[in-house]
Structure 1
Amino acid sequence: MAANLKYLLLTGATGLLGRSLIRDLSADGRRLAVLVRGSKHATAEARGDELLDDWRDVAGVTVEAPVVLAGDITSPGLGLGTEAAAWVGRNVDEVVHSAASLSFQMRESDGEPWNSNVNGTANVLALCRDLGIRRYHHVSSAYVCGTRRGRILESELDVGQTPGNDYERSKIESEKAAVSA
């Protein structure tokens, strides 16, 4: 079987799940590109380097350095410049979208969690559509169940459940968008 020479693009790489996905996907031999948003304190590239330092220094694990793409899921085209978007179009054949806002209540200052969870998902799906990336994996949350109890099947995304907060509402909406894409 020939090795896949294309890259998998991971969103949410700096989060708890994203950090583990970098380790696990790298161990499986996947070539990774990670979308990283700069912060007030560090550039996207510095935050990408920090991910590798964490694995090497804390866990003693060597992880192949991913391609770090500076961007933001809340921006159209993920905030990628022309060259970076062209690179993604040529080199990426799969996306794992694990980026999300974990804010449980709506913040007027930045529109979270809606901006990241709903608009961000729409932007990632649009990039996949525009660049012809057909393999999309959406990281869900048990919170899409709302206040339901008992056995809940994965196929029961929208059955009139009552969300308990804005995070749950936003994750239900983002998952509905992913399922219908």
Structure 2
Amino acid sequence: MIVITGATGFLGSHLLPHLLATGEPVTALVRDEPPSALRRLLRAVAAAGDGRALLDDLPSRVRFLRADLSAPALGLSGHEHRELAGAARQIWHCAALTTMTADPSLLRHVNVEGTRRVLELAGAAPRARLLHVSTAYVCGARQGLVREEDLDDGAGFLNPYEESKFAAERLVRSWAREHGRPVTVFRPSVLVSDRRRPPRTPRHPLSVLGRGLRLLAEEAGPPAPVGLAGSSAATTNLLPATYAARAMAAVAAAPPGHACDTYHVVHAVDTPVTDVLEAMSDVCPDLSVRLTADPRPLDARFAELTAGFHRYAASAVRFDRTRLDTVAPLPAPPPPVTRDYLRKALSS
């Protein structure tokens, strides 16, 4: 059996079709009652696109268990927890609070304590392989090249989300050492899509960013030049979620290692922040988004509405993906993210 948290989320809805393709039964740990979770999952998988052919069969192929990721035993009964642990062959921990500007205590509650409870399940499941979804941005404010095995908080963090995911990954590594069990850690970069997102479906960071831009344009009225403190040399790593899900599935199909193997699931080509800013202006022509050394009050509102994106406008971090590139067969790499792709993603 494959157990997954976060199946109804943005990444989980892209990943689920690949898990079902293994032929293994899938149990999704969800926060809603099963009928509501099924409706959410059907909408999310349909929006993701890759799994549309599975929609008719999905209700019979996915079992839902209502769970509380931060509660002892995941909020399950003793019987449910033992049954799940005994049957699990893979445990995918994809659930997380990804809002960069959320309250730090809430981020820790969901991302760190939730991971702790999943580790308890993995500890009771001797035949299960744990696959933990972290983020490439556990590197925090580091600049330059970050290797896949690096986990260092010496440079600090750009937001509390990064810090919570760092703490969660450190828990996973400690658990792997203590139990002598192989663990796979995925560190995706910024996962995006250029598909139109229907209402009530999970959104990705560029979709959230685009919505914030439109709200700002409505508030400010034309013309409204907006400044962003940053560097013209800054880059960000944007990766289509469809590729990320296929790459993770390819890693999971290979035998696990003997320690905590970490994979940067990232694009081979970074996207210049200036390209993102130009696409923002294309999507909201009433806003002229530019880099500046002298932010104004409207710029602060821009930072608020764009959910922390401004903190990355001076980043020069690059992610090594040597270990990921050794996986075979790995899907063909996606092309560089174009301005047209950015426009569609911001408008989705």
Change (3 A) 1:44 1:115: farther
Change (3 A) 1:50 1:132: same
Aligned-residue offset at 1:31? 2.0
Structure 2 regions of 5+ residues with no counterpart? 176-348
The answer to whether the Cα contact below 8 Å between 2:140 and 2:153 also exists between their aligned partners in 1 is no
2:64 to 43, 68, 72: 68
Corresponding residue for residue 80 of structure 2: 84
Change (3 A) 1:161 1:87: same
For 2:101 and 2:47, locate their aligned partners in 1 and report how far apart those are by CA, in whole Å: 35
How does the TM-score come out when normalised to structure 1? 0.83
Q: Within 5 Å, which residues of 2 pair with 1:15-26? A: 15-26=9-20
2:129 to 127, 135, 138: 135
Aligned-residue offset at 1:159? 5.1
The answer to whether the Cα contact below 8 Å between 1:45 and 1:70 also exists between their aligned partners in 2 is no
Corresponding residue for residue 331 of structure 2: none
1:29 to 4, 23, 26: 23
My pick for the range that moved more, 57-66 or 161-170, is 57-66
Q: Once superposed, which parts of structure 1, at least 4 consecutive aligned residues long, lie more than 3 Å away?
A: 52-60
Q: Number of aligned pairs?
A: 169
My pick for the range that moved more, 61-70 or 136-145, is 61-70
Q: Within 5 Å, which residues of 2 pair with 1:27-176? A: 27-38=21-32, 43-52=33-42, 54-55=44-45, 59=49, 60-62=52-54, 63-64=57-58, 65-107=61-103, 111-158=105-152, 160-176=154-170
How does the TM-score come out when normalised to structure 2? 0.45
Aligned-pair RMSD on alpha carbons? 2.1
Aligned-residue offset at 1:56? 5.7
Corresponding residue for residue 192 of structure 2: none
Aligned-residue offset at 1:58? 7.8
Aligned-residue offset at 1:171? 0.4
For 1:78 and 1:133, locate their aligned partners in 2 and report how far apart those are by CA, in whole Å: 19
